[in-house]
Amino acid sequence: MDEYLKQAIELARAQASVRVMSEEDIAKFVATLAAKLRDLVDSDTVCLETTATTLSTEEVKRSIKEKSVTCLECGKSFKILSKKHLSLHGLTSEEYRKKYGIKKGTALICKALVRERRKKMETMQLWEKRRKLKKMPK
């Protein structure tokens, strides 16, 4: 059952306990209330999305490409969108992510470099494991 219908039924139940309502009344009450609640929530989310940023999430996603990252402030491309560059726009990388709705912790690095780094990390972790295994007493 959808969330709004549940809420509407709860409210109808409360109404029915304080005044006499026919089955038809209750059904109508629930139907109109559910629709109203749905409208309210829908318009809320639309507002939030449009005020957060003027760019679509697609555009933001496309800014981080295989071989380059595009600065959404000035449109220039880099391998790494550095703190130094962002400071030219008066932004920190945190502020930049927030402004464009980029997920927290997303590296502002082109995908190829991210993969390279991940590989390096994995190899390092493998070495770490091997070292620990050697140290383990028998």
Binding residues for Zn ion (CB under 5 A)? 71, 73-74
Closest separation in Å from C-beta 78 to Zn ion: 8
β-sheet bridge partners, residue 78: 69
- Of 94 and 122, the one with the shorter C-beta distance to Zn ion is 94
Closest separation in Å from C-beta 43 to Zn ion: 34
Closest separation in Å from C-beta 49 to Zn ion: 24
- Of 1 and 74, the one with the shorter C-beta distance to Zn ion is 74
Distance CA 85, CA 39 (A): 43
- Of 90 and 137, the one with the shorter C-beta distance to Zn ion is 90
Closest separation in Å from C-beta 81 to Zn ion: 8
Q: How far is CA 107 from the centre of its chain?
A: 15
State the alpha helices, DSSP H only, in 53-136.
57-62, 83-88, 93-100, 111-135
- Of 84 and 131, the one with the shorter C-beta distance to Zn ion is 84
The label of the residue with tokens 């962002």 reads 86
Distances (CA, A) of 94 to 21, 74, 89, 105, 121: 55, 17, 13, 9, 23
Q: Dihedral of the CA atoms 89, 95, 100, 105 (nearest 10)?
A: 130
- Of 20 and 74, the one with the shorter C-beta distance to Zn ion is 74
Closest separation in Å from C-beta 87 to Zn ion: 10
